[in-house]
Structure 1
C-alpha cells in the first residue's frame, strides 16, 4: 500500500515522540526509584545512629546488656521512641531468659485435655496468617544488637527476608558502633535491601510512579494532537504548490502562491512564483515573436505580390530594373529566413560548433579585411588596435567566430553615418580574451541598450528595415558567444556610437 506524505510525516513524528517519551519514562522511573531508595536508606541510617547513641547511654547506666536480655520489652520501647516497632518474643518472667536472649522451652500443659465443649470456636485460637513473604519487613525487624564479642544480644534476623539469594535481599549489612565512655561496647546492625521498606514511603513511591505513567500517557495524547496539527501546517504550502502547478498546466501563467514563511518551504514557494513569472514572460515573448515574424514577412510578401500582379496585369513592363528590384526583395526575405533558421538552431543547441584551438587575431584580421571594402563605400574609417603578430588563442569554431565578428561589423556599416569611424580592439585580460568593436554616431538611447539583444528589436524600425536589418543579428551574435562559453554586452561608445564587448575564455597552448 502506497502512503501519502501526510501519514508518513505523521507516523515519523509520532513514533519519534513516543520513543522519546518511552525513554524518558523508563529513565525517570529508574532514577526516581533509585534516588528515593537511597534517600530512604540514608533516613534509616540516621535513625540507627540515633539508636546507637541511646544504647551507648543505656549501657553506661547498666554497665552491661543484661537489661535487654532480661527484659526484651526494653528493646521494643527503645525502638518505639524512634517511631519504629519490633516483633517481640513471647513473654517470660524475669530471670527465665537464657544467655543469648533465647527463652527456655515451655513445659507441656498439666492436667487432662479439655472437653470438646470447652474448645474455642473454629475461628478462635488460630495462628495469625504468615507474613507476606514478598512484603519487605519494617526497620525494627531488621535491627540487631551485637555485643563487643560479635554475639547477638537482641533483635531481628541477619537476613530478615529469610531467603538469602532473593532479589529483594540484594543489599548489605550495615554496622554502627555503640560506644560508652569512648569505649566500643557493641554494634547496631541493620540489613538494608534494594527496596523501600517503610509502608508510607512505599505508598508515596507507588503514587509518584503512577503519576509518571499518567503524565506519559498525557504526553502521548498531546504528541498525537500536535503531530496532526504540525503535519497539516507543514503540508499546507505543499498543497498550494500542487494546486498552483496544476493551474500552470492550463496556461494560466499569472498564477502566484502566497509566501508565508522564510524557511525552505517559503523559498520553494518563492521559486515557484519566479518560475511562473518566467513562464509568463516567455509566453508574452512568444506571442510577440509570432506577431513580429508575421509582420516582417507580410511586408516584403505584400510588396512582391503587388509588383508581380502589376506585371501580370500589364500595368508595368518586366524591365531589368523592376526584375532586379524583385530580386532584392527576395534576397531580403531569404536573409530573414536564414537568420530565423540560425537562431532556431542556436536556441535548440543544435548549432554545430567545432571545438579546436583558434587564433582569434587571425579571425579578426580576416573579418576586418572583408568589411573594409563595404565600409569605404560610406567613407567609414576602420582602425584595428591589436598586434597581428600576437596570437590570442581561444577554443571554438573559427567559421562561427568569423560570422560573429562579420555580423558586428555589418551592423557598424548599416548604422554608422557616412564619414564615421569604427575601431576594433583585442587584448588578453588574465585568462580571458576581450574584443570590443565600437563605432561613431548615431548613438543608442539608454532605454534601448538592455534590449539590443532581444529578437526583432530595432531602435528605429523604419530606418532599420530600409537599411536591410532584420532585428535578429545581435540575438544570433549573443547565442554564438554563449555557445563558446563567453559573454557579450552593449554600452555607449566614446566615439559617440555603440560599443559591443565580447569576452571569451583564453585557451592555453
Structure 2
C-alpha cells in the first residue's frame, strides 16, 4: 500500500522521506546494538565461563578423590576459590597461592556464578541463587556421577546496579537518537532546499509560460538532470515564442494579402455602380486578375494546410523530369520574353527518371519560374541546369540580379517571408511559393536549398532521388 500525502509539496515529501529514513536507520542501529550486546557480548562472557568450568571439573574430581566426599569444602570458601584458580589448588586457604590474582576468565566474573552440587544435586558451595536456566555439568569418577557444577548465565545475575547502568545506556542512546534525528531534519531541510530550488523556479516559470508569457526563461545552473530539464524548458519556450510570432505574422500577412485584392475589387465595383467606370473588357480583365490572385492565395493556403497534416495527395509514377521541365519552361517562354528575361537550359540527353507526382512537380517548377519572374530585373537571365549526382538528380535554377542578403537565405522557405519587405504586390507574391516548393520536394524524399547565384541573383538547388534505369 502506497503512502499518499495529498496536498503536500515535493519539498515536504522529500523532507519526510529523508527524516523517516534517518529514524529507521537509528532504530535499526539501536536494535542491532541491543542484539549484539545481548547475544554477542553476553554470549562471549558465557562461553568464557563455560571454558573455565571445563578447566575446573578435573580439579574438583581430583579433590573429591583425595577426600572421598564434599565435606571438606562445605562452608569453606577459601578452598572453593582456591580451586577456582587456574593453578593447582592448595587446600590451605592461607597459602600464598590463595592470594594470587584470578585467571583471565575470572575477570568476567565467572567464578562468582559457579555452583557446586553433590550427586543428588544438593547445594554444596558457590553461588546460592542458582537460576533455573543454569548450565549443569556432571563430575565423574570411574563412570559414576559424584557431583555437579552449574553455571548461571550472566544475564540472569544482573544486579539492580547493572540494570540502572543499562537504563542509563538506553537513555543515552535515546538522547543521541533524538539529537541525530534533529540534526538529520536540519540537514534534510537544507538538502531539500538545494535540490528543489531549481525545480521551484522551473515550476514558477512553467506557470508563467502556461499563462502566455513565452519570453520566460530559467537559468541553467547545473549539468545534471535538472539542468538538462531547464535547457529543454528554455528550448520549448523559444519554440512557443517563435510559433506565436509566426502565428501573429501569419494572421497579419493573410489579412493583408486578402485585403488588397478585395479592396481593389470593391473599389472597381463601386465605381461601376456609381457610373464612374465603364464595364469594359479591360475592367473585366482587371477584376478577373484580382479574383485569380485571391484564388491562387486560397489554393496555396489550402495546399500548405494539407501539407502540414500530411494530407496532400501524391500520385507517383516513374516520370522524366527533363521532359516535364521543358514543358513548364515552354509555357512561360512568352511571358519571360515580354519581361526581357533570357532563359538558358542545360539538360542531359538521356531520360531523367524519378518516382514522383507529375502534377506536383509542375506546381514546383511553376512556383520557381514565377518567383524568378517577379524578382529578376528586366534584361536579366535564368539558367536551368541538371546533372546526376550518385543516386540523385540535381536541378539548379540560377537567376540574375537583384540578389538576396546572406541573412535572408535561410528564411526564404518561411511562409509570407519576402527578402525585400518593401516590395508591393505588383512586384512580389504572397510569399508562399517557396514554402510550398519545400513541402513538395520533401514529400518526394528530396531536399531544396537557396544560395547566392554566380549571376548576382538567387540559386535554388533541388535534389530528387533518381529511379533505377
TM-score by length of 1: 0.64
Which of 215, 237, 241 is the aligned partner of 1:276? Answer: 237
Other-structure match for 1:403: 363
Pairing partner for 1:191 from 128, 151, 165: 151
The superposition leaves residues 285-331 of structure 1 with CA deviations (integer Å, 9 ceiling, x where unpaired) of: 23333333333344444445555556566666555345434433432
- CA displacement at 1:487 relative to structure 2: 4.5
Structure 1 residues 340 and 273, CA gap change in structure 2 (3 angstroms): same
Tell me if the contact between 1:364 and 1:402 (Cα under 8 Å) persists in the aligned partners: no
1:142 aligns with 2:114: yes
Is it true that 1:371 corresponds to 2:333 in the alignment? Answer: no
| Alignment of 1:4 onto 2:4 | no
Matched, 1:498 2:467: no
**CA apart distance, 1:473:** 0.8
Query: 1:276-315 counterparts in 2 under 5 A?
Result: 276-304=237-265, 307=268
1:84-117 CA distances to partner (integer Å, 9 max, x unpaired)? xxxxxxxxxxxxxxxxxxxxxxxxxxxxxxxxxx
**Distance of aligned partners of 1:152 and 1:357 in 2 relative to their CA distance in 1, 3 Å threshold:** farther
**Structure 1 position 471 matched with structure 2 position 439:** no
Deviation string, structure 1 residues 340-377 (Cα, Å, up to 9, x no partner): 33233334x163324x6543x53564244222442563
- The structure 1 residue matched to 2:351, chosen from 383, 388, 391, is 388
* Paired residues of 2:347 and 2:385 also in contact (CA < 8 A): yes
Query: Which deviations, in whole Å up to 9, do the C-alpha atoms of 1:185-239 show, x marking residues without a partner?
Result: x999673647475657776555445534444444445555655665566555555
Q: Is the 8 A contact 1:40 1:196 kept in 2?
A: no
Q: Secondary structure at the match of 1:380?
A: strand
8 A contact 2:202–2:218 mirrored in 1: yes
Task: Give the 5 Å matches for 1:443-462.
Answer: 443-461=403-421
Q: Does 1:362 align with 2:320?
A: yes
How far is 1:393 from its partner? 3.8
CA distance in 1 between partners of 2:303 and 2:83 (Å):
111
Match of 1:439 in 2: 398
Structure 1, 452-461 or 497-506: larger mean CA deviation: 497-506
Verify the 8 A CA contact 1:69 1:153 in the aligned structure 2: no
Among residues 56, 78, 81, which one is paired with 1:79 in the alignment?
81
| 2: CA distance, partners of 1:173 / 1:383 | 117
Structure possessing the higher radius of gyration over alpha carbons: 1
Counterpart CA distance in 2 for 1:172 and 1:420 is 118
Map of 1:88 onto structure 2: none
Is the contact between residue 489 and residue 500 of structure 1 (CA under 8 Å) also seen in structure 2? yes
Matches within 5 A, 1:106-121: none
Q: Flag the 1:344–1:435 CA change in 2: closer, same or farther, 3 A.
A: same
Give yes or no for contact 1:438–1:497 (8 Å, CA) kept in 2. no
2:296 pairs with 1:335: yes
The whole-number CA distance in structure 2 between the counterparts of 1:425 and 1:79 is 116
Q: Size of the alignment, in residue pairs?
A: 426
Q: Distance in 1 between matches of 2:201 and 2:150?
A: 72
Quote the offset at 1:446 in angstroms.
0.7
Q: 1:50 to 1:215 in 2, by over 3 A?
A: farther
Separation in structure 2 between the aligned mates of residue 490 and residue 157 of structure 1, nearest angstrom:
107
Structure 1 contact 371–410 (Cα < 8 Å) conserved:
no
Q: CA deviation at 1:422?
A: 1.5
Tell me by how many angstroms 1:472 deviates. 1.0
Q: Which deviates further from its counterpart, 9-18 or 372-381?
A: 9-18
CA 1:404–1:188: 2 relative to 1, 3 Å: farther
Post-superposition shift, 1:261? 4.8
CA distance in 1, matches of 2:175, 2:69: 53
TM-score, structure 2 as length reference: 0.68
2:41 maps to which residue?
A: 36
Q: Does the CA contact (< 8 Å) of 1:363 and 1:402 recur in 2? A: no
Q: Distance in 2 between matches of 1:419 and 1:207?
A: 104
* 3-state SS in 2 of match to 1:447: coil
Uncovered stretches (5+) of structure 1, i.e. residues with no partner: 84-136, 176-185
Question: What SS class does the counterpart of residue 446 from structure 1 fall into?
Answer: coil
Bigger drift between 315-324 and 279-288 goes to: 315-324
Secondary structure in 2 matching 1:70: coil
Q: CA-to-partner distance for each residue in 1:447-484, whole Å, 9 max, x for gaps?
A: 11111112222223455743452211112223344555
CA distance in 2, matches of 1:202, 1:333: 101
Superposed, which structure 2 residues align to 1:95-110 within 5 Å?
none
Question: Hey, what does 1:421 align to over in structure 2?
Answer: 383
